[in-house]
Amino acid sequence: MFDSIDQELKNTVHAWGSRPGGWQTLQLDHGLWEDDCLFALVGWTGAPACVADVSDSDIAFVTGLGTDGQRWQAWLNVDSAAALLTEEPEDLDDVSLWVGTPEFDEAVRRKRAELDVDVPADAAGALVWAEAAGLPAGAQQSRIEDLLRSRETFVEDLFSGLLDELGFPQAAQPSPEP
């Protein structure tokens, strides 16, 4: 799959610690990954894949795709995601004047509640995906939900923790710091 990209872009792909069983975790620099790449990756490898689209180590949108086309998605750090996803008032000229106001805080609270409602289904989808990926059973949905609701600053750590909780073998070496 990566053979089709030029050398300059290949230089932006960094390996994290490999995991036993042939599982690989790669870090791609900003702007390289597109949603269609997940389908291509699953097709190319014949194995389930998961991607975390990380923004400034604060939030990540995780998507997993199985070989059967089954897909799941979840936010990491839903508090920050809620602030990002909160719709701005249409008559707003300067976002900086709205952020931090009681109205903004209430809008973020409502968005956080909307995202929180999805957490159990997101965790269940992740577990179904992990089982289809052949990972050992035993992951606990409540622990996945807790992780999805975590306020951990570095979502890269949350993503590694999610992989661990889903039953992936421990990485051979620690993931690099952001």
Q: Give the closest residue to 76 by CA, choosing from 115, 27, 127, 134.
A: 115
Residue 1 banded pLDDT, cuts 50, 70, 90 = very low
Question: Given this model, what pLDDT does residue 168 score?
Answer: 86
Please determine, for residue 5, whether its predicted confidence score (pLDDT) is greater than 60. Answer: no
What pLDDT, in 10s, does the model give residues 38-52? 888 888 888 888 888
Assigned token pair, 33? 């990954």
Percent of the chain with pLDDT over 90: 35
Q: What is the mean pLDDT of residues 88-94?
A: 79
Sequence-separated (6 or more) residues with CB below 8 Å from residue 2: 10, 13
User: Lowest-confidence range among 19-23, 75-79, 90-94, 136-140?
Assistant: 19-23
Residue 116 banded pLDDT, cuts 50, 70, 90 = very high
pTM of the model: 0.81
Question: Given this model, what pLDDT does residue 169 score?
Answer: 82
